[in-house]
């Protein structure tokens, strides 16, 4: 069971909107899109981002956390309503692609359908993201259905690069499924909460894996039109997972804490910064053993409630925060060579590797 699913309003197993009435053309294969390119007209930008101070309240708190987790000075003002940017125009081989913030009202669906010819929407929000802004999705689903928009969901945790890594293949498959519903001149709309992290990341992965763009090419196109902070490392690591599997290796980390320390926790690694796990005392150190897939993992210690890092282990600075990091290597020499190439800046893929990824994505939504 993949994480993405069509949002349902009434009958189980029935998609919302016109997909219940019209099936996609089975002759449209993913491989047909390998070399497709969207025309790169000037993007239509409608309040895409705000660099000034927010109006306060929930938006200010959300922006503070976003800037701390993602870096930069971008802000999100929920009270200003939905905002979006057209990234790609549609071509004969693929529909238009629009990235934006969450739909808030039925009128947002009507606006997308009438102004942008949106045929399908992919929502990446968790239920708790909507609850934070007291957003009720049911009127939005009703608005989508009323104007013939199919609404899909593929839930990804906010501000969590590792969760994005794990869920990217399903999200890209959901986006491809949504895209297949589009007719000539129609577009697909992908959004998270602010449209500045998860949604751009999924859109770039889709352009890279399905449409055949280079990773940095896709990143350059999207970020030149919509300033944002997509996590490219999550896309590179998800690409490795799709090609090589997600085999794990047991690793061990530790720190010398004061003799008086009562509790030492670790945050980060594959858990995200919101979760922690306890270390165990081993002689004069507090240690943690964990099975991790290949890749680089940042982490930090919490000693009796105080966040710190181990100065004797590798460190890096991430958005002004000094964190420890761990490079995990798995597989034989061939797999290590593939991983090294895919994790490089350009993340170049061989033709057969693209075909493996496309088959994986096609299998996920069929």
**Other CB atoms within 10 A of residue 133 CB:** 16
Q: How many Cβ atoms sit within 10 Å of the Cβ of residue 354?
A: 18
Question: Two tokens at 104?
Answer: 């808030």
Q: How far apart are CA 234 and CA 5, in angstroms?
A: 21
Domains and CATH numbers, the chain: 5-241+346-365 (3.90.190.10), 248-330 (2.60.40.10)
What is the C-alpha separation between 212 and 216, in angstroms, rounded?
A: 12
Angstrom distance (rounded) from CA 213 to CA 231: 17
Residue 366 structure tokens: 């069929």
Distance CA 229, CA 98 (A): 16
- Burial degree of 224 (CB within 10 A; 0-12, 13-18, 19+): exposed
In this prediction, residue 4 carries a pLDDT of 42
Q: Is 249 helix (H, G, I), strand (E, B) or coil?
A: strand
User: Rounded distance, CA 363 to CA 173, Å?
Assistant: 9
Question: What does the alpha-carbon distance between residue 59 and residue 55 come to, in Å, rounded to a whole number?
Answer: 7
Query: Beta-carbon neighbour count of residue 219 at 10 Å?
Result: 21
CA atoms within 13 A on the CB side of 15: 25
Taking CA atoms, 120 is separated from 157, 178, 322, in Å, by 22, 6, 41
Distance CA 276, CA 308 (A): 14
Angstrom distance (rounded) from CA 255 to CA 159: 26
CA distance 222 to 237: 20
* Residue-level pLDDT at 56: 61
What is the greatest pairwise CA distance in the chain? 69
- Give the helix/strand (H/E) hosting 59: helix 58-70
As a whole number of angstroms, the distance between CA 60 and CA 73 comes to 12
How far does Cα 306 stand from its chain's mean position?
30
- Kindly report the pTM of this predicted structure: 0.82
From the first residue on, what is the mean pLDDT of each consecutive set of 10 residues in the chain (366 residues)?
A: 39 35 33 32 42 65 88 90 97 96 98 98 98 97 98 96 94 97 97 98 98 98 96 95 92 94 96 92 96 94 97 91 93 92 95 96 81
C-alpha distances in Å from residue 61, one per residue of 57, 66, 205, 320, 321: 6, 9, 29, 19, 19
Indicate which residues carry an active-site annotation: 192
Per-residue pLDDT at 42: 39
């Amino acid at each position: 069971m993949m994480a993405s699913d069509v949002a349902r309003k009434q009958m189980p197993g029935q998609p919302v909107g016109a997909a219940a009435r019209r099936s996609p053309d089975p002759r449209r294969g993913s491989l047909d899109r390998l070399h497709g390119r969207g025309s790169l007209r000037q993007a239509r930008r409608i309040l895409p981002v705000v660099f000034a101070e927010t109006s306060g309240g929930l938006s200010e708190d959300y922006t503070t956390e976003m800037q701390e987790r993602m870096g930069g000075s971008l802000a999100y003002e929920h009270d200003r309503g939905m905002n979006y940017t057209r990234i790609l125009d549609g071509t004969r081989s693929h529909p238009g692609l629009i990235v934006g913030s969450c739909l808030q009202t039925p009128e947002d669906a009507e606006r997308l359908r009438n102004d942008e010819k949106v045929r399908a929407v992919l929502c990446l929000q968790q239920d708790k993201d909507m609850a934070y802004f007291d957003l009720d999705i049911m009127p939005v689903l009703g608005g989508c259905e009323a104007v013939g928009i199919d609404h899909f969901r593929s839930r990804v945790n906010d501000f969590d690069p590792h969760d994005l890594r794990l869920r990217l293949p399903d999200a890209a498959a959901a986006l491809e499924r949504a895209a297949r519903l589009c007719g000539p001149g129609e577009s697909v709309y992908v959004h998270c909460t602010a449209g500045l992290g998860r949604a751009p990341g999924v859109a770039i992965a889709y352009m890279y894996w399905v449409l055949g763009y280079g990773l940095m090419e896709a990143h350059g196109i999207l970020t030149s039109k919509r300033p944002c902070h997509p996590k490219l490392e999550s896309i590179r690591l998800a690409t490795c997972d799709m090609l090589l599997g997600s085999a794990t290796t047991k690793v061990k980390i530790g720190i010398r804490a004061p003799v008086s320390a009562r509790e030492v926790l670790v945050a980060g690694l594959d858990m995200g910064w919101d979760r922690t796990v306890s270390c165990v005392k081993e002689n004069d150190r507090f240690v943690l053993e964990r099975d991790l897939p290949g890749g680089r993992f940042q982490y930090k210690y919490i000693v009796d409630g105080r966040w710190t890092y181990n100065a004797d282990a590798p460190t890096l600075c991430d958005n002004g925060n000094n964190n420890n990091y761990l490079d995990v290597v798995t597989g034989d020499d061939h797999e290590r060579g593939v991983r090294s190439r895919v994790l490089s800046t350009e993340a170049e893929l061989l033709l057969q590797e693209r075909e493996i990824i496309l088959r994986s994505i096609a299998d996920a939504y069929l």
